[in-house]
Amino acid sequence: MTTATEVAAGRAAAGLEISGLHKSLGGRTIIDSLDLTVEAGELVSLLGPSGCGKTTTLRMIAGFLTPDAGSIQVGGREVVRLGPERRPSAMVFQNYALWPHMTVAKNVGFPLKLRKLPRKEVADRVDAALALVNLMHHKDSRPARISGGEQQRTALARALVQEPELLLLDEPLSNLDAKLRVKVREDIREIQQRLGITTVVVTHDQEEAMSMSDRIAVMNDGRIEQFSTSVDLYSTPATEFVATFIGSLNRFEGRIEAGRIASGSGVVGIRPEDVRFSADGADDKDGWVPATVERVVPRGHFAELYVKREDAELRAYVTGALPPVGARGHARVEKWLEFEDGKLVRRGSAC
């Protein structure tokens, strides 16, 4: 029998290199000269709001949609003119696209059957793929009889059984409930790392992208705004769009002067965790400005405070003892981001 390790060994890690990708649909530019390099063995998410072109990009990588211009190379080989079945990639669709009349094993083995591989080899590779996603016990079940998470794993096994050099996942968790989503994304990441398989995931969920990916390509209106690690995107967003899309932001037109929001030409962005509230002790100096708590929203392990200062209303994330609504004290902005024409120009700090 083929083991999971052999499944992995059968797969050469290959990088993906996209350059100058362009696509118009219905007379409108959907993807505009997009470049993206994914290293061998890396998991990259395409993250962005609805309609920004994530799925269109993934479908072009998979070969289901032909670009108007551009190059797509997998492992250094140009694949842009090849049909999906001739590309070294396998895609897991958002709705899984399982055949209801076939068992889990038959579903998983189907791509190999199409390639007319010997029956014994198909059986061995199906077993190995099912073992990999921990589904051997459902081998003979039909899709309707297994859970959403198990259907997702069946679809994943059907992609992995093909030993692709590149794995493509379209919104892999969108049909699962919140709790299962966390478990399945951990499973996907674990399998992806164990196999070292180059993977591109489409998602509109920033938490999902941040928890799974080596790097994230943040897309906006058919372009990549920034391509980096989640830590870097969060701390040093290149644009106001990225800063607003990744995490939460207090946004003001103007600038920070002696710890206060003052009028000016730029834009100031302040992460809620960079706002401090103190109910006692602070003086009106070092950026501490008199403030009143207007709203307290418990969020589990932290709370969101809405504090009103003379210069602005700020959202702050706080932990520990919560002040009551109406409490007076001081609030201080510890760190902030400064943007001009939508681009980051400076990171400011009160210290």
Ligand X SMILES: Nc1ncnc2c1ncn2[C@@H]1O[C@H](COP(=O)(O)OP(=O)(O)OP(=O)(O)O)[C@@H](O)[C@H]1O
Q: Write down the least CB distance from residue 23 to ligand X, Å.
A: 9
Query: Which residue's CB is nearer to ligand X, number 59 or number 330?
Result: 59
SS (H, E, C) the chain: CCCHHHHHHCCCCCCEEEEEEEEEECCEEEEEEEEEEECCCCEEEEECCCCCCHHHHHHHHHCCCCCCEEEEEECCEECCCCCHHHCCEEEECCCCCCCCCCCHHHHHHHHHHHCCCCHHHHHHHHHHHHHHCCCHHHCCCCHHHCCHHHHHHHHHHHHHCCCCCEEEEECCCCCCCHHHHHHHHHHHHHHHHHHCCEEEEEECCHHHHHHHCCEEEEEECCEEEEEECHHHHHHCCCEHHHHHHCCCCEEEEEEEECCEEEEEEEEEEECHHHEEEECCCCCCCCCCEEEEEEEEEECCCCEEEEEEECCCEEEEEECCCCCCCCCEEEEEECEEEEEECCEEEEEEECC
- Single residue of 11, 54, 138, 309 touching ligand X by CB under 6 A: 54
Region from 45-53, 130-138, 227-235, 328-336 binding ligand X, contact rule CB under 6 A? 45-53
Region from 51-59, 83-91, 100-108, 315-323 binding ligand X, contact rule CB under 6 A? 51-59
Planar angle of CA 117, 75, 73, nearest 5 degrees: 105
Interface with ligand X in residues 307-326 (CB under 6 A):
none
* Using rule CB under 6 A, residue 143 touches ligand X: no
* Using rule CB under 6 A, residue 51 touches ligand X: yes
Interface with ligand X in residues 170-209 (CB under 6 A):
204
Q: Write down the least CB distance from residue 259 to ligand X, Å.
A: 40
Region from 8-16, 44-52, 117-125, 183-191 binding ligand X, contact rule CB under 6 A? 44-52
Query: Which residue's CB is nearer to ligand X, number 210 or number 312?
Result: 210
**Do the beta carbons of residue 186 and residue 16 sit within 8 Å?**
no
- Single residue of 55, 192, 213, 226 touching ligand X by CB under 6 A: 55
* Using rule CB under 6 A, residue 10 touches ligand X: no
CB-side exposure of 189: number of CA atoms within 13 Å? 17
Query: Which residue's CB is nearer to ligand X, number 65 or number 117?
Result: 65
* Using rule CB under 6 A, residue 52 touches ligand X: yes
Interface with ligand X in residues 332-351 (CB under 6 A):
none
* Using rule CB under 6 A, residue 25 touches ligand X: yes
Planar angle of CA 63, 65, 68, nearest 5 degrees: 110
Region from 48-56, 157-165, 181-189, 235-243 binding ligand X, contact rule CB under 6 A? 48-56
* Using rule CB under 6 A, residue 95 touches ligand X: no
Region from 25-33, 121-129, 191-199, 231-239 binding ligand X, contact rule CB under 6 A? 25-33
Interface with ligand X: number of residues (CB under 6 A): 12
Query: Which residue's CB is nearer to ligand X, number 162 or number 203?
Result: 203
Query: Which residue's CB is nearer to ligand X, number 24 or number 248?
Result: 24
* Using rule CB under 6 A, residue 56 touches ligand X: yes
Tell me which residues touch ligand X (CB under 6 A).
25-26, 30, 48, 50-56, 204
